[in-house]
């Protein structure tokens, strides 16, 4: 046995575990987030971390975070769900218009979530049962839901403010938005499921190598169906929360949100081309990096078009780092 092998077989110390974690995707994006904070403090000043600014950033990132965490299960299972943005808009429109028509908000929220689950099941039926290409199926669903939202808004009663939901989505604890705290809580629970439970390991195995997972007795089809339903339900919940924030729902709500979310997830260590790779904590960091950069540009009155350029550079850097790290191999 070589000396290197002996060293590798030694029990991992606390310091070694920290070093190993920093070599992974979460560690990489953690450094990027820290660099974003440093740039903000240098360029904007202490006001960058002022409670009022944290409130602004937190409110902007909270709903996308919840949607991203739920959608990340589909990515881990090896399926890209492009319909999440339009499902956010469709869920918001359904919820808003039924409440505006005089129905109680809480049963309507349940109806909206059920609609999201049905959309996820429809995607899963075509993808899993008939073996269709996920990108094509979910792109078609994106177009269908966006068209339905247009029709519903045109023929709908006026919207109304839902005060209990508005209070939750606009509330804060010690200067931190309640909705952001909920999003972080959802992220931590999801991270625990992914890294500590049998279900999480099965989801990663299905995304990493579905044939090997099938041979190991893992129900590949069932896991992908559940992952797609979770993704769509998360988007429906995001639509409900947006109505709470905005007090209404337009027919363009959620447009382009899927690209914002998947860019942040990829920056955070997920992969669009392979499953089984990523952690919700990395997704949280990725969204915070994008939100922090957006905030810096807004405060400095930069053209918002620069945001796309910067996010693209960070995304390309994340992809390169992932390749150098050997991230294309599922372990």
Q: Is 173 helix (H, G, I), strand (E, B) or coil?
A: strand
* Residue 132 or 13, more confident: 132
Give residue 300's pLDDT. Answer: 83
Give residue 71's pLDDT. Answer: 96
Q: Is the pLDDT of residue 69 over 80?
A: yes
- Alpha-carbon span 126 to 128, nearest angstrom: 6
Tens digits of residue pLDDT in 89-109: 999 999 998 988 889 999 999
* Residue 31 or 232, more confident: 232
Give residue 135's pLDDT. Answer: 93
pTM: 0.87
Confidence band of 162 (pLDDT split at 50, 70, 90): confident
Tens digits of residue pLDDT in 184-227: 999 999 999 999 999 999 999 999 999 999 999 999 999 999 99
Tens digits of residue pLDDT in 137-152: 999 999 999 999 988 8
120, 231 contact by CB (below 8 A): yes
- Tokens at residue 234, please? 């998360």
- Alpha-carbon span 163 to 47, nearest angstrom: 31
Q: SS3 breakdown of the chain: % helix, strand, coil, rounded to 5?
A: 75, 0, 25
Confidence band of 7 (pLDDT split at 50, 70, 90): very low
Half-sphere exposure of 108 (CA within 13 A, CB side): 21
Q: Is the pLDDT of residue 5 over 80?
A: no
Q: Is the pLDDT of residue 269 over 90?
A: no
Write out the DSSP string of 224-284.
HHHHHHHHHHHHHHHHHHHHHHHSS--TTTTTTHHHHHHHHHHHTT--SSSSS---HHHHH
- Tokens at residue 301, please? 């009155």
**Which residues, 6 or more positions from 4, have their beta carbon under 8 angstroms from its beta carbon?**
none
Helix axes 84-100, 257-267, angle to 10 degrees: 130
Q: Indicate the range of 155-164, 247-256, 294-303 predicted with least confidence.
A: 155-164
- Tokens at residue 79, please? 């399926």
Q: Is the pLDDT of residue 268 over 80?
A: yes
Tens digits of residue pLDDT in 272-289: 878 888 899 999 999 999
Average pLDDT of the residues in 313-330: 63
How far, rounded to the nearest angstrom, does the alpha carbon of residue 291 sit from its chain's CA centroid?
13
DSSP state of 127: I
């Amino acid at each position: 046995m070589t000396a290197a092998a002996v060293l590798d077989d030694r029990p991992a110390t606390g310091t070694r575990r920290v070093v190993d974690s920093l070599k992974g995707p979460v560690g990489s994006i953690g450094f990027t987030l820290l660099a974003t904070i440093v740039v903000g403090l240098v360029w904007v000043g202490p006001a960058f971390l002022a409670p009022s600014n944290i409130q602004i950033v937190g409110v902007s990132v909270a709903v996308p975070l919840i949607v991203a965490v739920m959608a990340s299960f589909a990515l881990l299972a090896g399926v890209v769900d492009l319909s999440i943005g339009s499902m956010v808009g469709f869920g918001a429109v359904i919820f808003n218009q039924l409440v505006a028509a005089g129905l109680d908000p809480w049963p309507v929220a349940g109806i909206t979530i059920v609609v999201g689950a049905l959309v996820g099941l429809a995607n899963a039926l075509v993808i899993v049962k008939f073996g269709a290409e996920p990108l094509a199926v979910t792109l078609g669903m994106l177009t269908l839901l966006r068209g339905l939202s247009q029709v519903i808004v045109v023929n709908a009663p006026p919207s109304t403010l839902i005060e209990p939901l508005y209070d939750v989505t606009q509330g804060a604890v010690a200067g931190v938005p309640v909705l952001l705290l909920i999003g972080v809580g959802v992220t931590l629970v999801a991270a625990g499921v992914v890294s500590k439970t049998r279900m999480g390991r099965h989801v990663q195995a299905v995304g990493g190598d579905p044939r090997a997972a099938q041979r190991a007795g893992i129900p590949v089809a069932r896991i992908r169906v559940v992952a797609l339903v979770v993704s769509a339900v998360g988007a429906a919940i995001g639509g409900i929360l947006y109505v709470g924030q905005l007090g209404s729902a337009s027919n363009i709500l959620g447009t382009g949100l899927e690209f914002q979310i998947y860019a942040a997830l990829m920056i955070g260590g997920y992969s669009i081309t392979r499953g089984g790779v990523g952690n919700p904590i990395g997704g949280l960091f990725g969204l915070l990096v994008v939100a922090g950069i957006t905030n810096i540009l807004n405060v400095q009155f930069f053209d918002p078009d620069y945001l796309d350029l910067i996010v693209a550079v960070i995304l390309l850097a994340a992809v390169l780092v992932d390749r150098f790290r050997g991230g294309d191999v599922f372990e």
